[in-house]
A and B are shown apart, each in its own frame.
Chain A
Amino acid sequence: MIRLICPFCGPRELREFEFHKTRAEPGSTPYAQVYERVNRLDDSVEHWQHVQGCRAWMLVRRNPSTGLVLETRILGGDHP
């Protein structure tokens, strides 16, 4: 099971988090944002929420093929 590091709470079990979606390409049309989402095997940029914790929304970059988490940071001014 992958393990996420909440920017506020530190490493927590995966079940505390909820996956929302992969990030839309910034600047794309509303249609593309809904229906043309990228699904990359090696570098997936995703929105997660620490639902059962501090409820912060986070941006998570990870490699779905290895389970390696490359980056976690809080969302701020990102495209929804």
Chain B
Amino acid sequence: MSAVVRRGTRLTAETLCFTFDGREYHGQVGDTAASALLASGVRTMGRSVKYRRLRGVLAAGPEEPNALFTVGSSPTVFPNVCAPQLELREGMVLRSQNRWPSLRYDVASLLQLGSGFLGAGFYYKTFIWPSWHRWEAPIRALAGLGEAPGACELPTVAVEHFSCDVLVAGAGAAGLAAARAAARAGARVVLCEREPVCGGELEFESGTIEGRPALAWIDATLAELATLSARVLTGTALVGETGGEFIALYEPGGLPGANAVYKIRPRAFVIAMGATERPIAFINNDLPGVMLLGAAERFLSRYGVNAGRELVLFANHDRVYAAATRLVVAGMRVRAIVDTRDATGLGPQAARQRTALAGTGTDCLLGHAVIRVTGRGQVRRAVIAPLASPAAAHSIACDTLLVSGGWGPSTHAGMHEGGVTRYEEALGAFVSTEQPDGRENAGAANGLLELSQALADGAGAGTRAARRAGADGDPGTAPLGSGDGAPRLVPFWRSPADRAGEKHQFIDYQNDVNVADLRAALAEGFVDIEHVKRYTALGFGTDQGRMGGLLGAAILAELRGEPLRDVGTSRLRPPYHPVTMQSLAGLRVGARLRPMRRTPLHEWHVAHGGVLEPMDLWMRTRYYRENGPGAYEAGIAEAQRVRTSGGIIDGSTLGKIEVAGPDSGPFLDALYLNKASTIKVGRSKYMVNLREDGMVLDDGIVLRIAEDRFIATTSSGHGAHMLAHFEHYRDTQWSGCGVTVTDVTEAWAVIVVAGPQSRTVLREVLSAQWRQPLDALTHMAFARGTLAGQDLTVLRASFSGELAFELHCRPSISEPLWESLIAAGFKPYGLEALDILRVEKGYLVSSELNGQTTPFDLSMDDLVKHGNHCIGRELLDRPAFHEPTRPRLVGVRAVDGRMAFYGGAQLTTPDQPHRACGYVTSSVYSPTLSEWVGLALVSRAHADGAVLDCRDPVRIGDCKVRLTSIIHYDPSGERMKS
């Protein structure tokens, strides 16, 4: 392979090996994929997305539209990686995209033969019969960029939040000058540079600054910034801004999936992100061998790669002569320089360079344009004609055509929060004018392409940014420098072409948008630039219109016959740099997505075969594996055991809010439908909250532990919400009153002991002092005392219909207490069994409290009647809440007792089979009754005893059900009160 060791600013002499489309290549450490392939003579690096035309590398930065590779082997791949940004590593596996079976022979490229039909809007207009969806799958298979990863190792990407005084984006001449001025003035500066090294254009532009060569000045400036504690982030790309927070990705090596994500909040922001070179549209301007002039210079200076041997340069400004001089010095042969301007456009410096070049045999043409390039698979000849008479064309043999149509300032970053731009004729581009507070463009990003101006502008912007951040030190004098002269550009967008030729004048390479597509868009009535963008896909893709956006707008202006300033460009939005969802998620993936709340008994459940599931942030046990192969079987076994002897369940997830103070009674009265102030000390009450609109919000038991102290329990899933609800009313209506609200959820572990033998077991397990209280406790009463020196409250309350006690104990004694209950013969049960027990007893599960049910719907009329004036009470009187069509809670059982029915099944009547009159909210198989029982919300028109059709066609089919009383088991409640 290449025996010659190339020399470039980014290269070392060490070689490495990689594969591209299965073939082995060599590069040098520091090479990018694009530079190493170019050096190996590979010019074709992909095919275009629609017409499958062969494409080579066009640019040397993130604006590259063609050379996008898939990196890695399936399924762990990174698609659409920008080859000029991708730093090579030993053994890297690269693949070209948009081709099948190979880059050279692509089946779909046959489409090119019919490309006359494939213009913008082709698919939408052609594949409408019988429906787009019929065609979508095969078309999608052909479309798209790269292969989506099938699996991905999730790196632990840390997100670093920090603030600073001045954030400078871009470390070119202007950015360095800005950072230095701001840092000297005393501001805390962060300098963010996308490339692995600082310098920007200074890397190859032959300039001198403050009497030193540009590269020496860069080193000196960086050294000074280090002494001023400025933070320089290289290899870090800015993604965008939202409301003063900037997101930047550290992506060393150019592989997506950042190694670090920075979220930066600066007081002031200097945008010094330079300018992006743009091409000129001519026929076949996408042929491999066509490259941007600036890209050729970068490949040369950084990687020692010659873009070609025989060059033709095509431009509309003075800079082309300086560049040509440098290319000739490097040993390339410049056959011709085609300048679209006439002789009056040339500046003195360029005129001198032009004369010198002409002396070395370069054909320097003025007032000419490259009409087309020809060649099979790569550039062989350039057809050149005078603009005054395009027919008088001649051709020149060449292998590379370097094009430069000017530069568009990178105003993108400033536009995310509403910056404004203005068209600048001298640049043929839009520059920023009014910017949101604290944001300022500088240097080339501000339209100042000359080194001396960029330095002065940068220093000025840096000083103003520092002042804004409150740093009032001396910023020093602005650096003086001189480099390439002013470009003296005359806007030129596309070469003359006939209508057939316009199909091959490409504007947006990545989306295969050509001049004919813009014409088609206009013909279809898409006139506005935003509409044209959507119709043609101009400015979509990974380069986000960096390459084709402005060119497209300019050609649209030409076709519309209007000035470019009136056409404008499409709205710029983040992300400016492609960002993976993974990077944005950071560490918040998988189990770390949300915090997890564990009960004090969590480890015990895990160790003893508990199958846990999330409930809000809590993890709760659904069932224990020893009781059955699945939730259904285990739940039945566990529920049966509770009914026959007893069991224990971990209820620590219950929300517990301690409400204290002289006004705590009236405060709770306002929050609950029924009165708390009438509860006697030592007693508890089942209470219901309403939302402000009268719907039932939550239910729970409220304990009065002292005259001025209550503990309100909430359902497990609602704890956090109810706490906020309590706190809101404490801080609004009850502000200044004698009431405090404290979350004590985690201060108390709760073990529920349920079953006919629960009292017996507790007498055995708890210490002797508890025997008398246990015997004395009546339903809904509680006793407070200690166990092993720790607080313990025993509340006699039941959600299972059996005699049951809730033990509220300190978490530290919960596990020994739990273990001693196990030792006494009680086994644990899970949520599945709890649901069975609740539905059997007609207790609300959770699907009944769905925010659409009133207390009347849930048969809580008594609570309302004896209730007080609470939140939401007033809206309960709305007539619609009392109409006969409102649902009411009923019990349901299958007419044929063996049939199963599930929650969610719709209930209908035979005369209206297509209109549901209700639905099953929850259903369980009751082992005690040996049949399925459920709860349902059914229109009041249907009385108990009515038979309805229970429709569940997708899951288990239909059956007939009878409406019953809500309570399926032990309606008189004797067991509970025994």
Contact = CB atoms under 8 A, between A and B. Distances in A.
Given A30-B874, A75-B732, A57 B727 contact: yes
Contacts of B330: none
Given A57-B727, A67-B243, A77 B735 contact: yes
B309 interface: no
A3 B729 contact: no
Nearest to A66: B418
B692 A76 contact: no
A42 B219 CA distance: 49
Given A1-B245, A3-B243, A51-B724, A79 B733 contact: yes
Given A30-B874, A30-B875, A77-B736, A1 B731 contact: no
Nearest to A76: B735
B244 interface: yes
B242 interface: yes
A34 interface: yes
Given A34-B693, A34-B875, A49-B724, A74 B243 contact: no
Contact of B731 (A2, A3, A31, A74): A74
B352 interface: no
Contact of A57 (B692, B732, B736, B874): B732
Interface string A19-40: 0100000000011011100000
Nearest to B728: A57
B243 A18 contact: no
Given A1-B245, A13-B161, A67-B243, A47 B735 contact: no
Interface in B142-166: 161
A67 B692 CA distance: 29
B724 A3 contact: no
A79 B728 contact: no
Nearest to A80: B732
Nearest to A18: B724
Interface string B722-757: 001001110111011000000000000000000000
A75 B692 contact: no
A51 B720 CA distance: 10
A35 B872 CA distance: 12
B822 to A, nearest CB: 37
B728 A1 contact: no
A75 to B, nearest CB: 5
A57 B726 CA distance: 11
Chain A, interface SS category: loop
Given A30-B874, A34-B693, A80 B244 contact: no
Nearest to B263: A13
B244 A75 contact: no
B732 A33 contact: no
A5 interface: no
Interface string B841-882: 000000000000000000000000000000100110010000
Contact of B732 (A2, A3, A77): A77
A72 to B, nearest CB: 14
Interface string A44-57: 00010101000111
Given A1-B242, A49-B724, A51-B724, A57 B731 contact: yes
A35 B695 CA distance: 14
A33 B872 CA distance: 11
Given A51-B724, A57-B727, A80 B875 contact: no
A33 B692 contact: yes
A3 B244 contact: yes
Contact of A56 (B242, B729, B731, B874): B731
B418 to A, nearest CB: 8
Contacts of B693: 34-35
Contacts of A35: 693
A2 to B, nearest CB: 5
B874 A76 contact: no
B870 to A, nearest CB: 12
Contacts of A13: 161
B243 A80 contact: no
Contact of A75 (B265, B724, B731, B871): B731
Contacts of A2: 243
A80 B728 contact: yes
Nearest to A51: B724
Contacts of B878: 31
Interface in B91-116: none
Contacts of A33: 692
Contacts of B243: 1-3, 67
Contact of B733 (A1, A34, A80): A80
A13 B692 CA distance: 30
Nearest to B161: A13
A57 B725 CA distance: 10
Contact of B727 (A49, A77, A79): A49
Nearest to B733: A80
Nearest to A35: B693
Contacts of A49: 724, 727-728
Interface in B798-815: none
A44 to B, nearest CB: 15
Given A34-B875, A51-B724, A57-B727, A78 B732 contact: yes
A69 to B, nearest CB: 10
Given A1-B243, A49-B724, A55-B727, A79 B874 contact: no
A18 B720 CA distance: 12
Interface string B227-270: 00000000000000011110000000000000000000100000
B875 A31 contact: yes
A9 to B, nearest CB: 15
Nearest to B871: A80
B224 to A, nearest CB: 32
Contacts of A74: 731
Nearest to B242: A1
Nearest to B724: A49
Contacts of A56: 731
Contacts of A3: 243-245, 265
Interface in B704-734: 724, 727-729, 731-733
Contacts of B161: 13
Contacts of B727: 49, 55, 57
A20 B728 CA distance: 9
A47 B875 contact: no
A24 B733 CA distance: 13
B433 to A, nearest CB: 19
A14 B736 CA distance: 28
Nearest to B595: A52
A16 to B, nearest CB: 12
A69 B265 CA distance: 16
Contacts of B692: 30, 33-34
A2 B241 CA distance: 11
B345 to A, nearest CB: 44
A80 B725 CA distance: 10
Contacts of A30: 692, 874-875
A51 to B, nearest CB: 7
Contacts of B265: 3
Given A13-B161, A30-B874, A34-B693, A79 B244 contact: no
A58 B606 CA distance: 41
A63 to B, nearest CB: 12
A53 B265 CA distance: 20
23 contacts: A2-B243, A3-B243, A3-B244, A3-B245, A18-B724, A20-B728, A30-B875, A35-B693, A47-B728, A49-B727, A55-B724, A56-B731, A57-B731, A74-B731, A75-B735, A76-B731, A77-B733, A77-B735, A77-B736, A80-B728, A80-B729, A80-B732, A80-B733
Given A3-B245, A75-B731, 13 more contacts: A2-B243, A18-B724, A30-B692, A31-B874, A31-B875, A35-B693, A49-B724, A51-B724, A55-B724, A57-B731, A74-B731, A75-B735, A80-B732
Interface of A: 1-3, 13, 18, 20, 30-31, 33-35, 47, 49, 51, 55-57, 67, 74-80
Rank and list the top 7 A-B pairs by shortest CB-CB distance, nearest first.
A80-B732, A57-B731, A30-B874, A76-B735, A75-B731, A1-B243, A77-B735
